[in-house]
Amino acid sequence: MTARLLIVGGGMAGTIVANGLARRLSHELRSGDVNVTVLGTSNDHMYQPGFLYVPFGRVRSQELKRQERSILDRRINFVIDPATHIDVDANRVVAQSGKSYGYDYLVIATGSRLVPEQIPGLTEGAYHCYDLEGARKLRGAIDAFEGGRIVINVNAPHKCPVAPLEITLMLDEHLRDRGLEGKFDITYTYPIGRLHSLEPVAEWAVPEFDRRGIKYQTFFNTKEVDVAKKVVHSEEGDSFEYDLLITIPPHRGAQVIEDSGLGAGGWIPTNPRTLLREGSDNVFVIGDTTNIPISKAGSTAHFQADTVVENLTMMVQEGRWSREYDGKVFCFIETGLSRGTYIWFNYKTPPRPTPPTQMVHWFKLAYNRMYWLSACGLL
């Protein structure tokens, strides 16, 4: 009998799993003992970390987009048919076309979505760079900016925890390079009592902000944006006037997760080590869509995908388990337009950032280009 492996979501995690399986299970795919199908929403595969460079004109949009079909191993079935209901009791996924996809093993990798509409006025009043369209609009706003008050407003939860700091530092440098020094001020707002959720990163950011004159307000959870008056208010009772408001919008998991009753807010209860959905022994959950208290980042998705590939391969080939996920996350941090640093941590080892260097910045730029090799399963 053919083992049916179904992956819902052809983003970073889903694509890495599919290509990893194609490599590891090449024999079984050839013999017909296994088939692997990816259900996606479109043929566009976006490299999201690249959005960060769009507002500063440092990347061309075309560089950030590839056809999913061209990245996926040709032995993988790729179907553009968004899932509308995931029925883990019946081992099947119903999709928009009305078709039902049965599986023996399921991997849910539907990522997260932006929900600025949860905060009154945020959609109308703020710019962001968390999708390509948003990043392009932000570029227009930054190009037109001639000075004034900028508020960078961070909301929880959001993916890529370091992006808010990166965009702040990059914007400061970009505006200075444009000769606007002294004509603008930046205020950065953050939901908890420090500048970043990682304590060592927050400690590193304070002198970095002070040196550049970037102001900050901690314990700022956005209540609403008064678009007419250009004021952003917090639940805690603080307010800031702005000329340019840049937000990291709050996120939720994919709509299909909520519609299928698989997790509040679209986040699926997932075992942090096995990556199995709580209550299932044939449903893996990886990437942004888990409820694991860990950074929602591409590197998380990648390391989790590697673990799931190992385990699925072992289960198919030998009927046994291979290894557990150790909580590894790795993030580059751009500290301006020419320097960077990085952090890594796992469930046991806390992060320790090192001083920024030009070398790490070049590494991150190189990785941005090598991403396609890694998604293809070549790196």
Partner 1 sequence: MSNRTTIDARNAFCPGPMMEMIAALKTIAVGDEIEVLSSDKGSANDIPAWTRKVGHQLVSSDDHGTHWSIVVRRMK
Ligand X SMILES: Cc1cc2nc3c(=O)[nH]c(=O)nc-3n(C[C@H](O)[C@H](O)[C@H](O)COP(=O)(O)OP(=O)(O)OC[C@H]3O[C@@H](n4cnc5c(N)ncnc54)[C@H](O)[C@@H]3O)c2cc1C
Between CA 281 and CA 160 the distance in angstroms is 29
Residue number, 45 or 328, with CB nearest to partner 1: 328
Residue 376 binding result from ligand X, partner 1, none, given CB thresholds of 5 to 8 Å by partner type: none
Between CA 299 and CA 81 the distance in angstroms is 26
Residue number, 282 or 346, with CB nearest to partner 1: 346
- Residue 30, exposed/middle/buried by CB under 10 A (0-12, 13-18, 19+)? exposed
Classified as helix, coil or strand, 82 is: coil
Name the segment binding partner 1 (CB under 8 A); options: 23-31, 139-147, 177-185, 190-198.
190-198
Distances (CA, A) of 58 to 81, 143, 364: 34, 13, 13
Between CA 357 and CA 104 the distance in angstroms is 48
Residue 355 binding result from partner 1, ligand X, none, given CB thresholds of 5 to 8 Å by partner type: none
State in angstroms the smallest separation of the CB of 62 from partner 1.
32
DSSP state of 235: T
Name the segment binding partner 1 (CB under 8 A); options: 94-102, 127-135, 231-239, 334-342.
231-239
Q: Give the one residue of 139, 159, 196, 361 binding ligand X; rule: CB under 6 A.
A: 159
Between CA 299 and CA 356 the distance in angstroms is 20
Q: Give the H/E segment covering residue 238.
A: none
Residue 294 binds partner 1 (CB under 8 A): yes
Q: Give the H/E segment covering residue 338.
A: none
Name the one residue in this structure whose structure tokens are 């950032």. Answer: 353
**Amino acid code (one letter) for 80:** I
CA dihedral 315, 316, 317, 320 (to 10 degrees): 10
Binding mask 31-70 for ligand X (x = CB under 6 A): --------xxx------xx-xx------------------
Between CA 168 and CA 338 the distance in angstroms is 14
Residue 82 binds partner 1 (CB under 8 A): no
Number of residues counted as binding partner 1 (CB under 8 A) = 30
Cβ(15)–Cβ(111) below 8 Å: no
Name the segment binding partner 1 (CB under 8 A); options: 54-62, 207-215, 260-268, 367-375.
260-268
Residue 331 binds ligand X (CB under 6 A): yes
Residue number, 9 or 266, with CB nearest to partner 1: 266
Q: Give the one residue of 83, 169, 262, 285 binding ligand X; rule: CB under 6 A.
A: 83
In the complex, which residues of this chain contact partner 1 (CB under 8 A)? Answer: 118, 156-157, 161, 191-194, 197-199, 219, 221, 235-237, 250, 252, 264-265, 267, 293-295, 329, 345, 347-348, 350-351
Residues near ligand X, by CB under 6 A: 8-14, 39-41, 48-49, 51-52, 82-83, 109-111, 129-130, 159-160, 163, 254, 256, 287-289, 296-299, 301, 331-332
